[in-house]
Chain A
Amino acid sequence: MITINIQNNIAVLGINIANQPMNVLNNESIPALSEALEKVYTNPDVKGIILTSERPEFIAGADLKMILQNNGRAPEELFKLSMSLNTIFRKMETNGKPIVAAMNGTALGGGYEVCLACHHRVALNNPKSIIGLPEVTIGLLPGGGGTQRLPRMIGMEAAAPLLLEGKRVSPKDALAFGMVDQLADSPEEMFQKAVEWIEAHPIAVQPWDEVDKKTGKIKARENFKVPGGNVLTPKGVQLMMGGTAMTLAKTQGNYPAPIEIMSCVYEGLLVNIDRGIVIEARHFVKVANSSVAKNLIRTTFFGLNEVNKGAGRPKNVPATQINSIGILGAGMMGAGIAYVSAQAGLKVVLKDTSLENAEKGKDYSRKLLQKGIERGKMTAEKAEQILALIQTTDIYESLQDVDLIIEAVFENPSLKANVTQEAEKFLREDGVFASNTSTLPITELAKATQKQENFIGIHFFSPVDKMQLVEIIVGKQTSDYALAMAMDYVKKIRKTPIVVNDSRGFYTSRVFSTYTAEGLELLRDGVNPVVIENVAKQIGFPVGPLAVSDEVALDLAYKISHESVQAGVLSPDDTAYLISKQFTEMGRLGKKAKAGFYEYPDPSTGKKKYLWEGLSQLFPLNSVQPSAEDIKQRLFYRQVLETVKCFEEGVLRTPLDADLGSIFAWGFPAYLGGTLSFVDTVGIVDFVKECDRLADTYGERFRPTTQLREMAKANKGFY
């Protein structure tokens, strides 16, 4: 696990955690590292130590499985665990022998904290290596002394973005930040520089330590001066209030880790390094035990990886062949799908009713690629290659033998049926036909085709190039083969697929509509619309329900809800239906009409959009306004309950698809782990109780399902 090579009085410790896909810090590697270090500390022949890795990466971080398993343990135990790692790091600093980190590759999180505990850092200048402390992005904080050593090394201000945003940098940038001390162009040079440093520093003491004059031992220095200023300086004070404000402005206080990190720096830098590390460990216990860390690690780390690897793909189907794709309709969606497909190296046939329209669709790619060139993310040559992959056309014959066709024309069933029949003839014999509809039932659309088993829904989100999620909809007749091919395609374009079964609005559109619908219920109840919008943003939604209704367009909402009413699945008294009808009739169609719930002043005026004054006449403010807490609960519970119903009805196949779909399709807050993790975060018993309270107060739409009551009885959640 850790090899020791001693040459010319210098011990080289090589880390190689062979039973893991990458070098990680876990219950096995940490004791092994400690043991190897002890051996060389006590070996009188060893004058200096070089710590390196025998794999491409240095250390990729702590084992998150271990972190997840520890979530919920007693604080005393977690604190002890955290301190045991810190004791090893602290001994590295104070053992007296110089230790140099020879950072041959990526060093993240705990991996970089090992380097911080060394006396000197030489990094191999490989631009692909990444260095940083990304703990905050999964709800954690650097608990191996990172919040203490980094600001003591490079100053609080420089450390702030690295700690608070989890910024990852290349070795070159790490040198500029002061995160590493030297770069080397080759492994040989790296070791040579490490050796030279050791020879020049036979006794190594960290700047925050000093040699005790009486005992000769290395101990924590009192009154250490932090580079750039201590906490108790006007600048430090400003940094604390300003930094806290900026952090909260970004997180709305929904993510505890950044504030805990600020606390580590604030409290920890007021005392010596020994006590600072104890303080950090306490804050680490808080975040490691938080529901936010649990949710982020489970859903957005492990869950996302699992789904991206194709968790929902039928195992019995061998890899499918997709080299070319036909796209029907070069509107905004079609143009976006063409762009992401060409970027993935697929041959694209982009068809519209005229060549001019198809070229307009291709212009979208031209524009994005040009932007990429301007930002230095794309070469002109590469852009040319990508563009060459997109063939525009106005005739169906051009689709001859494509592997996959995605139809992205207007949401009109008869139009869709028509183009499907025209195009299908040219599809490869065993090709798959997909519709990019956001609401129309796939099983119905499939009826237009010759091979219903090869028909599937591939629902992209707008803008296609930015939205990571794709919702794959399996119709009644859809085969495993078609599903496998759709997933292989989504993997090729490097997007995240969730798989759902057919139903009106599928999963994402259906649940998302409850978010806007509850916003309208609140409005109808006479709740101050400013408060509705601001509370929605405070609890973590990217856009308030009224603003997003305007963006979707109220005539579209009316059209969809009208269809539901006609189909008998929605009551004609439904609030969202009635309000969207009323606004459509008034001509206040939303953002596109520059009038909806908001007013949209001409951009030339420099004025931002603002809530329409007329709302106060249509929906007079109730003299009693609900608490922000109740508004929050209504917005959350409505969506979560609808998700539960999707799950119970079999629209959703796994809780993970529900969670990832909610986060990536409409921005359900990630700190809650998604719509079903929400139930587990609250706790099933409390969740059901709160549903009943909301139902008693605000209406039957909040009443929990029978299945939920049974789950509560058994105290069993979704995970």
Chain B
Amino acid sequence: MNEAYIYDAVRTPRGRGKSDGSLHDIQPVQLAQQVLEQLRDRNQLDTSLVDDVIMGCVTPIGEQGADIARTAVLAAGYPQSVAGVQINRFCSSGLEAVNMAAAYIMSGQQELIVAGGIESMSRVAMGADGGAMMMNPQLIATHKFVPQGISADLIATKYGYSRQAVDQFAVISQQRAAVAHADGRFSHSMFGVKDEIGIEVLNYDEGMRPDTTVEGLAKLRPSFEMMGQMGLDQLALMKYPELNEINHVHHAGNSSQIVDGSAGILIGNKAIGEKLGLKPRAKISAFGVCGSEPTIMLTGPIPATQKVLKRNGMNIQDIDLFEINEAFAAIPMLFMDVLGVDHSKVNVNGGAIALGHPLGATGAIILMTLLDELERTGKGTGLASLCIGGGMGIATVIERI
């Protein structure tokens, strides 16, 4: 079997996902296009050797519709021989793209792939694509589907994470992100996004609030309380009769930020790297997905990690650093508690609470943040994982060469 190597990884900064965000006037396809251009330009890449571009995108409608990956290939001026596919496994799409690319490479069916994702949440609203899971009454009634915020609060209630605890976690995320930013730790992968006439519009992750305090966060109102009172709490609790109510602890300050962003990772086999004169940075050594209980929905990183480690004969101690997507504070907290992982190894440069979660791209972004940090600290093995809508989890292990 071939090895799948990471040769390079780039991403846009994450712009605030509202109409006043710095990336709001850049079209989604342009963000993805600039990612492809960056990979090409900084590696002097012979793009005719690229087999495919796999892009995660969670709301693939409107201007993100109609296979935005192939659209971006053409927009970036890659040769027409380069294919493109848009995939959707909700919040894990960016990492799923990487795993699919790795599987293609390892199986020997393809040699060089760009895997990443794109989401311009300021332009294509989350949930705008509908879906039977979100609206089919019979399915909702049978499976007790609720919005993710309710699920996150259910996790906090069931496992006893207080408002104070989740807020504390959020403050740490902000502090770590601020240190990482000041230290230039993101600059290896991040490039400045430019507008139509070549002027840079954003070169840092826009959502950071380094001065966040627990006291400040305490003033924010829980985001999902009202929604919960309209029957959704009771719907979720039908599966959890051991609980009387849901303690709504998550809010805008301890949940992932809505942002715009795109990312791409260049993945190939050994031979193609040699041919292109590129040095492999890391090996994608293990990956997989799993399903989990869909009402509480967001506990998937734990079984996914266990499954991937077990199948590859590894254990949790083999991992030096973790990136667990901060969809909501309770998700990495539960991961650390259940798997016995110290916070000093997890999201050491902050996470989506401070930096944002551009749905389709995040998986690729956290993987490159992980790789950059392994390189910076001289560590060997890292694991990235995300919780996924509908009750799923994903995990990917990389090892530096």
Contacts and interface: CB of A to CB of B under 8 A. Distances in A.
Contact of A240 (B137, B238, B242): B137
Contact of A244 (B137, B237, B242, B243): B137
B243 to A, nearest CB: 7
Interface residues of A, number: 31
B232 interface: yes
A531 B241 contact: yes
B136 A528 contact: no
Given A231-B135, A259-B138, A262-B137, A242 B231 contact: yes
A241 B140 contact: yes
B137 A266 contact: yes
A414 interface: no
Interface residues on B, range: 20 to 34
B339 interface: no
B314 interface: no
Interface string A647-673: 000000000000000000000000000
Contacts of A248: 141, 144, 231, 234-235, 238
Contacts of A528: 242
Interface string B230-267: 11101101100111100000000000000000000000
A439 B52 CA distance: 81
B198 interface: no
B271 interface: no
A538 interface: yes
B140 A244 contact: yes
Interface in B104-143: 125, 127-128, 130, 134-138, 140-141
A237 B235 contact: no
A634 to B, nearest CB: 14
Contacts of A237: 127, 130, 134-135
A249 B231 contact: yes
A253 interface: yes
A231 B137 CA distance: 12
B145 interface: yes
B146 interface: yes
Interface in A473-498: none
A686 B247 CA distance: 41
Contacts of B241: 530-531, 534-535, 538, 628
A249 B227 CA distance: 13
Nearest to B240: A534
A346 to B, nearest CB: 43
B138 A245 contact: no
A536 to B, nearest CB: 10
A240 B135 contact: yes
A259 B144 CA distance: 13
Residue in A231, A234, A236, A534 whose Cβ sees the most chain B Cβ within 10 Å: A534
Contacts of A538: 238, 241
B141 A253 contact: yes
Contacts of A240: 134-137, 140
Interface in A257-281: 259-260, 262-263, 266
B244 A530 contact: yes
A242 B140 CA distance: 10
A317 to B, nearest CB: 50
Contact of B238 (A234, A236, A253, A263): A253
Contacts of A259: 137-138, 141
B153 to A, nearest CB: 15
Contacts of A262: 137-138
A697 B93 CA distance: 48
A263 B138 CA distance: 6
Contacts of A231: 135
B134 to A, nearest CB: 6
Contacts of B237: 534
A192 interface: no
Nearest to B146: A245
A243 interface: yes
A340 B125 CA distance: 58
A273 to B, nearest CB: 20
Contact of B231 (A245, A253, A628): A245
A262 B231 CA distance: 15
B140 A234 contact: no
A252 B234 CA distance: 9
A246 interface: yes
Nearest to A239: B135
Contacts of A534: 237, 241-242, 244
B394 to A, nearest CB: 25
Contacts of A530: 241-244
A232 interface: yes
A247 B235 CA distance: 9
A308 B243 CA distance: 41
A232 B231 contact: no
A241 B134 contact: yes
Contact of A245 (B125, B140, B244): B140
Contact of B135 (A236, A246, A249, A531): A236
Residue in A242, A247, A253, A528 whose Cβ sees the most chain B Cβ within 10 Å: A242
A234 B127 contact: yes
Contacts of B235: 244-245, 248-249
Given A236-B135, A253-B238, A245 B230 contact: yes
A248 B243 CA distance: 17
Contacts of A252: 238
Nearest to A531: B241
A533 to B, nearest CB: 8
Contacts of A241: 134-135, 140, 145-147, 232
A250 B127 CA distance: 26
Contacts of A535: 241
Nearest to B147: A241
Given A245-B146, A245-B235, A246-B230, A531 B242 contact: yes
A531 B243 CA distance: 8
Interface string B203-239: 0000000000000000000000000001110110110
Interface string A522-535: 00000010110011
A670 to B, nearest CB: 19
A162 B336 CA distance: 49
A242 B229 CA distance: 10
A245 B135 contact: no
A17 to B, nearest CB: 35
Contacts of A628: 241
Contacts of A610: 244
A531 B145 CA distance: 21
B234 A232 contact: no
A285 B101 CA distance: 48
Residue in A249, A253, A628 whose Cβ sees the most chain B Cβ within 10 Å: A249
Contacts of A245: 140, 146, 230-232, 234-235
A234 B131 CA distance: 11
B65 to A, nearest CB: 14
Nearest to B234: A249
Nearest to B136: A266
A283 to B, nearest CB: 9
Nearest to A530: B242
Given A241-B140, A253-B238, A234 B128 contact: yes
B297 to A, nearest CB: 14
Contacts of B128: 234
Residue in B125, B135, B244 whose Cβ sees the most chain A Cβ within 10 Å: B135
Given A253-B238, A528-B242, A243 B137 contact: yes
A266 B134 CA distance: 12
For the complex of A and B, 7 pairs with smallest distance between CB atoms = A245-B231, A262-B137, A246-B231, A240-B135, A249-B234, A534-B241, A249-B231
Given A237-B134, A241-B140, 11 more contacts: A237-B127, A240-B136, A240-B140, A244-B140, A245-B146, A248-B234, A249-B235, A259-B137, A263-B138, A530-B243, A531-B241
Interface of B: 125, 127-128, 130, 134-138, 140-141, 144-147, 230-232, 234-235, 237-238, 241-244
8 contacts: A240-B135, A241-B146, A245-B231, A245-B232, A248-B141, A249-B235, A534-B241, A610-B244
